[in-house]
Amino acid sequence: MSISNQKILIVGGGSGMGLALARRCVEAGAEIVIAGRTQDRLQRAREELGNPLGLALTVVDIAREDQVADLFARIGGLDHIVSTAADIEGAYRLVPEVDLKAAQRAVDSKLFGPLLLAKHGAPRLAAGGSMTFVSGIAAYRPAARGSVVAAVNAALEGLVRALAVELAPVRVNAVSPGWVDTTIWAQVAGDRKAEMLAAMAERLPVGRIGQPADIADAIIFLIGNGFATGTMLHVEGGHRLV
């Protein structure tokens, strides 16, 4: 399935995996709407993409139902919805140090946000449309300090399976990335980012850490494959094996 001339909403498209996906969509001739929480980041994304025709930017907090409802009222019909949004700053803590506010932000961005996108966005999707979300390796290979992120990723995958049944024939899928070199690692590892990523690269069967474009390509596959729904597509360099 070609995505040329199709209209795609990318929530979290201002940076990282979402921005890489936006770039792929622009290259494929799609009309894209990038949504995010800060106007400055959205404007930087526009500049990085070369200010292409057919690009729209909109500010939204997907944890706010009123904002999500207004978003879809403004942008109208769509072919595909993608969310790469993840507010996990402060969520990586040992259990005795868990910050419930940070945990709630993680749940809002990766569970309730997708639920609201489905509630208000599914009726706007064209026949053959899809929704794609981003889970993560923590649901399968959790580590110390990662209980909140492991739990929310696992919950998102359960939601995806349920939505695929309830919203059919709309297709609902998720990509589960492994360790990908994004700005999130500065929050997780601080000054040890390069050291931690290099150590993981040595462990992985593919011999490297993932890049945002790797995940973007996986999302493009799920958008374009009309026979994929309720699927968790693992793109993690073999991390589940080691």
DSSP state of 15: S
Separation between Cα atoms, residue 100 and residue 80, nearest integer Å: 33
Give this prediction's pTM. Answer: 0.95
Separation between Cα atoms, residue 162 and residue 145, nearest integer Å: 28
Q: How far is CA 31 from CA 78, 121, 140, 196, 235, in A?
A: 10, 17, 34, 37, 26
Separation between Cα atoms, residue 109 and residue 62, nearest integer Å: 7
Separation between Cα atoms, residue 83 and residue 19, nearest integer Å: 11
pLDDT computed for residue 169 by the predictor? 97
Q: Which domains does the chain have, with CATH numbers?
A: 7-241 (3.40.50.720)
Count of alpha carbons within 13 angstroms of residue 217, beta-carbon side: 8
Residue type, 57: L
Please state the rounded mean pLDDT for residues 12-28. 96
Q: Computed over its alpha carbons, how large is the radius of gyration of the chain?
A: 17
Whether residue 185 has pLDDT greater than 80: no
- Tell me the sheet residues that pair with 80: 8, 130
Q: How far is CA 112 from CA 54, 147, 165, in A?
A: 29, 18, 18
Please state the rounded mean pLDDT for residues 11-22. 96
pLDDT computed for residue 171 by the predictor? 98
pLDDT per residue as tens digits for the range 50-74: 999 889 999 999 999 999 999 999 9
